[in-house]
């Protein structure tokens, strides 16, 4: 008997290897998959603006990275002595204005380099709900716990999302014509928006991505949200907040991702890397024992052998 509904994944038109450069932008899925890719020594730049949820903020971040925008003091805001950008996640905020600017601009410069040569871009949208600053009508990526009276909340239309994302993809293709794009919808439930409102939001994203992926040959959809809702249809696969996927669920979706985009050879290399990572994380009872010294020597030899076979992995 089969006690779950299995998502049948299509045969995607491209694969990903350790030789490929990858960039991710967007919500938690981009962060989680990006972390898994890093752990397995892929060449990946994860969320250059930090975690972003809505399509307008994601596309703005991508376009600013394409343009290699340089942020100046006039681009930052300040609240309770904290300097921040409305376009970035709070990880880019801080007490020292110059440090905030340096962090933002260094990340943009790195992302600009990746986008011009990357094989794959992963884009994840979390919600179609946005917050606009009343003063400027601009969509913000983060409200920074400022008063609600400063913002207007609205649901983006399918057409708005389609137009903005399509414009950004065309701009990407102008600098990197062979770029492959994986789009997905975050499995995280945005419960603060409301039960019905969360469903409306996800449905809007689905319809928009359908139009986008039908318009661009190199843009495909990976069903992370559907895997979570249908294959893992149980609260034991959620974190304690009952909104985010648990570590087990993330691992399961990662396995689906590897089955979709990795060759047999890439999977075998991942196994070797995972084994070395496990051994490196081993905590000895006595670090000065002969056994651990010999263990460390053998581990170093394993690493050197791996880097000899795959030099591209050494600096990752």
Interval 263-315: pLDDT, tens: 999 999 999 999 999 998 888 888 888 888 888 899 999 999 999 999 999 87
Q: How far is it, in rounded angstroms, from Cα 305 to Cα 94?
A: 42
Burial environment of residue 163 by CB neighbours within 10 A (0 to 12, 13 to 18, 19 or more): middle
Please state, in angstroms and as integers, the Cα–Cα distance from residue 27 to each residue in 32, 53, 274, following that order: 9, 5, 25
- pLDDT at 46 > cutoff 70: yes
Look at residue 86 and tell me if it is in a domain.
yes
Answer yes or no: is pLDDT of 182 > 70. Answer: yes
The tally of domains found in the chain comes to: 1
Establish if 238 belongs to a structural domain. Answer: yes
Q: Is residue 248 part of a domain?
A: yes
Q: How far apart (Å, rounded) are the C-alpha atoms in residues 173 and 103?
A: 27
pLDDT in tens, 124-151: 999 999 999 999 999 999 999 999 999 9
Domain region containing 151: 21-263
pLDDT computed for residue 293 by the predictor: 84
Is residue 33's pLDDT more than 70?
Answer: yes
Q: Which two tokens stand for residue 164?
A: 């903005």
Does residue 314 lie within any of the structural domains? no
- When the pLDDT of each residue in the chain is averaged and rounded to a whole number, the result is 94
281 falls within a domain: no
**244 — pLDDT class (breaks 50, 70, 90):** confident
Residue 298 falls within a domain, yes or no?
no
Tell me whether residue 273 is in a domain. Answer: no
pLDDT confidence of residue 150: 97
pLDDT for the residue 286 = 86
Question: Quick one: CA torsion of 45, 172, 178, 161, rounded to 10 degrees?
Answer: 90
Q: Could you give the percent of the chain with pLDDT greater than 70?
A: 99
- pLDDT at position 186: 95
Total-model pTM = 0.94
Residues 171-187, mean pLDDT to the nearest whole number: 97
Could you tell me the pLDDT band of residue 1, with boundaries at 50, 70 and 90? low
Give me the CATH number covering residue 82: 3.40.50.1110
Question: Residue 295 domain-assigned?
Answer: no
50-96 pLDDT per residue, tens: 999 999 999 999 999 999 999 999 999 999 999 999 999 999 999 99
């Amino acid at each position: 008997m089969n006690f779950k509904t299995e998502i049948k994944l299509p045969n995607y038109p491209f694969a990903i290897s350790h030789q490929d450069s990858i960039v991710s932008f967007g919500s938690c899925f981009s962060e989680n998959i990006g972390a898994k890719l890093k752990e397995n020594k892929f060449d990946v730049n994860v969320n250059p603006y930090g975690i972003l949820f809505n399509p307008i903020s994601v596309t703005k971040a991508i376009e600013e990275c394409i343009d290699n925008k340089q942020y100046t003091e006039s681009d930052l805001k300040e609240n309770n002595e904290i300097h921040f950008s409305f376009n970035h996640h709070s990880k880019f905020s801080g007490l020292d204005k110059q440090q905030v600017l340096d962090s933002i601009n260094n990340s943009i410069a790195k992302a600009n380099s990746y986008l011009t040569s990357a094989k794959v871009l992963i884009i994840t949208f979390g919600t179609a709900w946005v917050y606009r600053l009343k003063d400027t009508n601009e969509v913000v990526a983060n409200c920074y716990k400022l008063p609600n009276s400063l913002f207007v909340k609205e649901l983006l239309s399918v057409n708005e999302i389609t137009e903005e994302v399509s414009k950004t993809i065309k701009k990407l293709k102008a600098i990197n014509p062979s770029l492959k794009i994986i789009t997905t919808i975050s499995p995280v439930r945005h419960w603060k928006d409301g039960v019905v409102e969360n469903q409306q939001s996800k449905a809007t994203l689905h319809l928009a991505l359908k139009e986008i992926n039908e318009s661009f040959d190199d843009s495909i959809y990976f069903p992370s949200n559907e895997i979570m809702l249908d294959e893992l249809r149980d609260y034991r696969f959620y974190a304690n907040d009952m909104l985010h996927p648990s570590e087990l669920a993330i691992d399961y979706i990662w396995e689906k991702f590897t089955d979709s985009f990795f060759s047999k050879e890439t999977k075998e290399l991942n196994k070797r890397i995972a084994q070395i990572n496990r051994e490196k994380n081993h905590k000895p009872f006595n670090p000065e024992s002969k056994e651990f010294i010999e263990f460390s020597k053998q581990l170093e030899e394993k690493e050197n052998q791996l880097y000899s076979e795959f030099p591209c992995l050494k600096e990752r």
